[in-house]
Amino acid sequence: MIKIYTAPSCHSCRKAKEFFEKEEIPYQEKNIFVTVLNDEELKDILTKTENGTEDIISTRSKIIKESGVDVNNMTISELIAFIRKNPSVLKRPIMVDDTKLQVGYNSEEIRVFIPHEKRMREWACKKTECPTYSKCGN
């Protein structure tokens, strides 16, 4: 199941949810300001990043700027505690499934969450090339 970590006023979060709804892909939304992320969720997100905290932490965040904390020098436990206490430091949306992570909305990159079978049907059955396009489910 895909989890989307969102914030209510986030335009990119709304676009991501619209994408999943349009594609009829089930997801679980977690508002980071209502639901406190648990240690396992944060560890899962961190292990799927390519560049560690750089991928998920907004250095432009007011809390980061005012407190002067250096998240790169924190232990994992300190980082998790910091994020749990200050969820606004997270970039949004964060979309994650069993193997993939995407931070922010990108209309091309988000397509990796479309199930393989559906992507193959779309690829094989283009509107201009398929006499049964309307029956293909596209």
Helix 76-85 and helix 39-48, axial crossing angle in degrees, nearest 10 = 110
E strand or H helix at 132, and its extent? Answer: none
Q: Which of 10, 125, 130, 136 is catalytic?
A: 10
Q: Examine the residue annotation and report whether 130 is marked as an active-site residue of this protein.
A: no
Sheet of 27-31, strand order:
27-31, 2-6, 94-96, 101-103
Cα pseudo-dihedral 50, 51, 55, 61, rounded to 10: 170
Catalytic residue positions, numbered? 10
